[in-house]
Amino acid sequence: MKFVDEAFIDIAAGDGGNGCVSFRHEKYKEFGGPNGGDGGRGGHVFAVADPNLNTLVDFRYSRRHEAKRGEHGMGSDMFGAAGGDITLKMPVGTIITDAETGEVLYELLNPGEVITIAKGGDGGFGNLRFKSAINRAPRQKTPGWPGEKKNLKLELKVLADVGLLGMPNAGKSTFITAVSNARPKIADYPFTTLHPNLGVVRVGPEQSFVVADIPGLIEGASEGAGLGHQFLRHLQRTRLLLHVVDLAPFDDAVDPVAQAKAIVNELKKYDPQLYNKPRWLVLNKLDMVPADEREARVKDFVKRFKWKGPVFEISALTREGCEPLIHAIFRHVQSEQRTENEPVEVDPRFAGDAPA
């Protein structure tokens, strides 16, 4: 299935039903009085985060979504029925924004989360509502209120703990295959990965984290070159970035340091916050470097790249060095989660009971 991470939809909640003007007409009851009921409310439009979905492709081909309007009120004190609601299933990680203003309205971050994205209109009042001591036979009624109508943009950002970034053919897909349950396409030509792949890495019983592999980046990606610029958004929610570098490119004219610097520049241009995320350097394809040259080549790369952060040397193909990297990642993710879950310290001056 083609991966679609952006879609535009039009939604319309149902209008409320109109109120009714009616009077009781029964034999032997001279003063029957008003009995016109209210209209029913219009149907709502809900969005639910479905963990079984990983694409917005359904909304690419079905743009208009309308809920039913409420039924009109009737005589004999009968109120109109409410219009039927509709529920739109969306992948976890979907951001819903106003297509006209660009304002972010909702985010679906938790599986099973349900939000109301358009409210149905209230039903109108029947003449029964207007009965009073001085108006025994009211003939007033009100129409139903219109339901909300919106033009929305849906944008999917996958939820992962760790994101892989690097040039095409850096070995990202091989790495995620080696350490997780993901099975992306692997081949010896650029842009093998055409859409993000998620993989769950099992460290131990009930111990795991999620890795996202996005299409390879090239220089100019932030301006639209290549494929990766479409998917950089998927790295924005990660806790850690792994910069995978091909330490043994097939073409001797290719400089791994220049490629690595190009990736860093693209991150900085695209989003400074993404650039400032924790980032580790993963030097891949050591199996293709002679054993007596590995140490010198790694030192030369780190020196010319001017890198001062964590460095891991691996071979995703033979899985050499992958185990220590996995455990280091898990410890980092666990520490980040603990930090996020720490209770916020409250100033003693404001620690009293909140007003009712």
Residue 86 pLDDT:
94
Residue position matching structure tokens 């980040």: 336
Mean pLDDT rounded to a whole number for the chain: 80
- Tens place of pLDDT per residue across the chain (356 aa): 344 578 899 999 999 999 999 988 777 766 678 889 999 999 999 999 988 777 787 888 889 999 999 999 998 889 999 999 999 999 888 889 999 888 989 988 888 899 999 999 999 999 988 988 888 889 899 999 999 999 999 988 776 788 888 887 778 888 888 887 655 444 443 444 445 667 778 887 767 788 877 765 544 444 444 444 555 666 777 888 889 988 888 777 788 888 888 888 877 887 788 788 889 999 998 888 888 888 898 999 999 999 888 999 998 888 898 899 999 998 888 887 666 545 444 444 434 443 33
| Apex 26 CA angle, 20 and 29, nearest 5 | 110
Residue 250 pLDDT:
77
Whether 133 and 66 have beta carbons less than 8 Å apart is answered as: no
Residue 123 pLDDT:
93
Q: How far apart are CA 336 and CA 297, in angstroms?
A: 32
Determine the 3-state secondary structure of 54 from DSSP: coil
pLDDT tens digits for range 54-102: 778 788 888 999 999 999 999 888 999 999 999 999 988 888 999 988 8
pLDDT tens digits for range 14-24: 999 999 999 88
H or E segment at 301? helix 294-305
Determine the 3-state secondary structure of 299 from DSSP: helix
Q: What residue type is assigned to position 279 of the chain?
A: R
Q: What pTM does this model have?
A: 0.61
- Measuring CA to CA, which residue among 71, 109, 61, 108 is closest to residue 87? 108
Q: How far apart are CA 11 and CA 38, in angstroms?
A: 25
| Apex 308 CA angle, 303 and 314, nearest 5 | 75
- Measuring CA to CA, which residue among 230, 216, 218, 217 is closest to residue 186? 216
- Measuring CA to CA, which residue among 122, 123, 127, 129 is closest to residue 141? 127
What domains can be seen in the chain, in order of their start residue?
A: 6-156 (2.70.210.12), 162-341 (3.40.50.300)
Residue 343 tokens read as 């209770």
Q: How far apart are CA 217 and CA 231, in angstroms?
A: 10
Alpha carbon separation from 41 to 112, 203, 342 (Å, rounded) = 25, 52, 43
